[in-house]
Structure 1
Amino acid sequence: MEQLNPSDLKAILHSKRANVYYLEHARVMQKDGRVLYLTEAKNENQYWNIPIANTTVILLGTGTSITQAAMRMLASAGVLVGFCGGGGTPLFMGSEIEWMTPQSEYRPTEYMQGWMQFWFEDEKRLAVAKQFQHARIDFIRKVWDKDRDLKEQSFYLDDRDIQTALDGFEKKIPNTTKVGDLLLHEAAMTKQLYKVAATRNKMSFERNREQGDLANDFLNHGNYLAYGLAATTLWVLGIPHGFAVMHGKTRRGALVFDVADLIKDAVVLPYAFICAKEKMTEQEFRQQILQKFTEHKCLDWMFDQVKEAALSSKSGDEA
């Protein structure tokens, strides 16, 4: 059997990779130069291949284990790994909302250098936070305008309640002088969007991460999938997760939250409600979200926005 070299595994850019895996009651191992996961059936064990060259994140849930050899191959392919609870939340390992990241000395330095040129100055950091919020609104408009499935569920961009939520937040961004105020405005918009989604799906809803109803569970689950994509983006670009522009500067993984926010409201929020109304299983919801992440090129959007923020600051200083 032909063996793959580490260089072959990196042929697919991270921003173009299609797969995120959540596994439970499985053992991940290396066999014959491939990464597999083993599930135990009644009469036999079954092996399933993981196409690591086209995978960004693997979440290991309840009853899982992984071998050192498998971790070595995943690292060589640049796949991030996280241990988590059942259903993809919460993330247990490594260090708060960070991830087991591959060790590589050959990632770009220009994005980290650009990020550092603005990060220590409050005004510049606030400017990037505002830039991220504008991008967040742009992505909601972009996705909701062209997603046929959302239109079938009566999510029309020109509806008054949707316009009020997006336009209201957008108008407040330029005049905001503190990150704390920006967070409050952002939370208000998201609350309005929860109401939009609940209304269209004829549901009563209150956001509670511990509540346990389907809509809340799916929001938690989908958000953690988005965190995986955000962590991948930052790792590939070489920017540590602690250098946040919006969320708490004392939380090591806060920049993961900032980057995930670029896509969460556009994709995870509406589909959490739609899938809850249809009483989907966790697996069906996860497949729906990952399909939409791919369809709307969410990872590409994250890469573009983070690179733009890092390099615009750098080019501005050089000018």
Structure 2
Amino acid sequence: MEQLTDLKAILHSKRANIYYLEKCRIMQKDGRVLYLTEDKDEQLYWNIPIANTTVVLLGTGTSITQAAVRMLASAGVLIGFSGGGGTPLLMGTEIEWLTPQSEYRPTEYVQGWLAFWFNETQRLKVAKHFQLLRIEYLQKVWAKDKDLKNEGFFIDDLDIQQAFSGYSSKVEQAGNVTELLLIEAQLTKNLYKSAVSRTQHKDFARNYDGADSANAFLNHGNYLAYGLAASTLWVLGIPHGFAVMHGKTRRGALVFDVADLIKDAIVLPWAFVCAKEKMSEQEFRQQILQKFTEHKAMDFMFEQVKQQALREPRP
């Protein structure tokens, strides 16, 4: 039991690593989790610091042993199967998350979440609150990120201000989740236009199966955000099915709700910037993970989900 406790000593919101692995074998050896790659005539072992890792994404050509899964579970690491480059293998819409099974997670958050979840009006209020938080976070990130400013992303530019114009009032006036989803989609579409104009990415159209770099990076970055969201919900003990927005259309829906808090702020602009710079998948991934850490994306997810779980339902 002492070893298991040590593996969870670092809070998930403070862990530094997300791993994407392909063409390798993951195994347990001498009390550590390693991945094995083959280089010509030799085999190379690389260590995964599981106590400081939130998510391991397994891409094409990977296998994992039962012993390695057991150790990853004991450290509270989520495992996701994906297609090449960290994006899904089928239709670009789903990863099956393998969550560590533990009956010793907190109970107050799931109980607080369910206290309002069965009331449709309360559920809609939380969905609206998440949308407003999403904009607040984006404005905060874009206002202080010097690297984004160097790329021409200024929060007070006219087109960006117009994208936000009236958004809060539209969200407040939405009568149901369907209306809210349409308002959200229009905002994201306007932000795409702003990013395209700054990076000169011609003829862009959002396509999950698109072969261009911007679409591939958007997919990749979004799934890194989904990994953070899935980790947040697992640690807090809230099942993915209790969504406030995406529940009627997608499995694992609450993961998408929580990931939306930070996707537009970080993944969206950097997908276009990195595509303009002709970065590799690995370089893009490093850039996104650096920005997640710099802007404390996971801390923000934890804070907001906890606040909503412990809020007093209003009559």
Task: Give the TM-score range, shorter chain.
Answer: over 0.9
Query: Equivalent residue for 1:176?
Result: 174
Shift of 1:167: 3.1
Task: Report the alpha carbon displacement of residue 43 of structure 1 after superposing the two structures with TM.
Answer: 2.2
Match of 1:307 in 2: 306
Partner of 1:188: 186
Q: Secondary structure at 2:210's aligned position in 1?
A: coil
Q: Contact conserved, 2:81 with 2:95, CA < 8 A, in 1?
A: no
Show the counterpart of 1:234: 233
C-alpha deviation, 1:313, in angstroms? 3.4
- What secondary structure, in the 3-state scheme, does the structure 1 residue paired with 2:153 have? coil
Summarize the Cα distance change of 1:242–1:98 in structure 2 as closer, same or farther, 3 Å threshold: farther
CA contact (8 A) 2:20 2:56 kept: yes
- Pairwise CA distance, 1:171: 2.4
Cα distance in 2 between the residues matched to 1:22 and 1:308: 31
Q: Any residues of structure 2 matched to 1:192-203 within 5 Å, and which?
A: 192-203=190-201
Deviations 1:161-211 (CA, angstroms, capped at 9, x unpaired)? 111112332221111111100100000000000000000001121111112
The alignment status of 1:122 with 2:120, answered yes or no, reads: yes
* Cα distance in 1 between the residues matched to 2:135 and 2:114: 25
Which residue does 2:85 correspond to in 1?
87
Match of 2:264 in 1: 265
| Superposed displacement of residue 250, structure 1 | 5.5
Single out whichever of 34-43 and 246-255 deviates more from structure 2: 246-255
SS at match of 1:211: coil
Deviation of 1:6 (Å): 0.9
User: For 1:279-290, what aligned pairs fall within 5 Å after superposition?
Assistant: 279-290=278-289
Partner of 1:252: 251
Tell whether the 8 Å contact from 2:134 to 2:260 is kept in structure 1 after alignment.
Answer: yes
User: Could you tell me which amino acid in structure 2 is paired with residue 66 of structure 1?
Assistant: I
Task: Please report how far the alpha carbon of residue 83 of structure 1 lies from its aligned counterpart in structure 2 after TM superposition.
Answer: 1.1
The residue identity in structure 2 corresponding to 1:212 is A
Distance 2:223 2:70 in 1: 24
Please list every run of 5 or more consecutive structure 2 residues that lacks an aligned counterpart in the other structure. none
Residue aligning to 1:139: 137
Counterpart of 1:303 in 2: which secondary structure? helix
| Structure 2 contact 81–96 (Cα < 8 Å) conserved | no
Residue in 1 that maps onto 2:104: 106
TM-score (norm 1): 0.95
Deviations 1:140-163 (A, max 9, x none): 011101111100001001111111
| Structure 1 counterpart of 2:75, from 55, 74, 77 | 77
Please list the CA deviations of residues 3-60 of structure 1 after superposition, one character each: whole Å capped at 9, or x if unmatched. Answer: 9811111110001111000000011111111111111001211111101011000000
CA 1:140–1:250 in structure 2 vs 1: closer, same or farther (change >3 Å)?
closer
In the alignment, which of 34, 37, 54 is matched to residue 36 of structure 1?
Answer: 34
Give structure 1 regions of 4+ aligned residues with deviation exceeding 2 angstroms: 95-98, 248-252
1:221 maps to 2:220: yes
Deviation at 1:251, TM superposition (A): 3.2
What residue ranges of structure 1 are gaps of 5+ in the alignment? none
Q: Does 1:295 align with 2:294?
A: yes
**Inter-partner Cα distance in structure 2 for 1:104 and 1:98:** 18
Q: Give yes or no for contact 1:97–1:253 (8 Å, CA) kept in 2.
A: no
Structure 1 CA distance for aligned equivalents of residues 286 and 196 of structure 2 = 21
Match of 1:148 in 2: 146
SS at structure 2 position matched to 1:236:
helix
Deviations 1:110-155 (A, max 9, x none): 1111111111111100000001001100110111011111000010
Once the two structures are superposed, the pairs formed by residues 11-22 of structure 1 within 5 Å of their partners are 11-22=9-20
Match of 1:243 in 2: 242
Is residue 56–residue 229 contact of structure 1 (8 Å, CA) maintained in 2?
yes
Deviation of 1:298 after TM superposition, in Å, equals 0.4
State the distance in 1 between where 2:259 and 2:213 align: 21
Give, in whole Å, the separation in 2 of the partners of 1:121 and 1:218: 37
User: Could you tell me how far apart the structure 1 residues matched to 2:308 and 2:2 are?
Assistant: 36
- C-alpha contact 1:98 1:252 (8 A) present in aligned 2: no
**1:207-241 deviation line (CA, Å, top 9, x unaligned):** 11112111001000100110000000000000100
Secondary structure of the 1:113 match is helix
The whole-number CA distance in structure 1 between the counterparts of 2:61 and 2:219 is 20
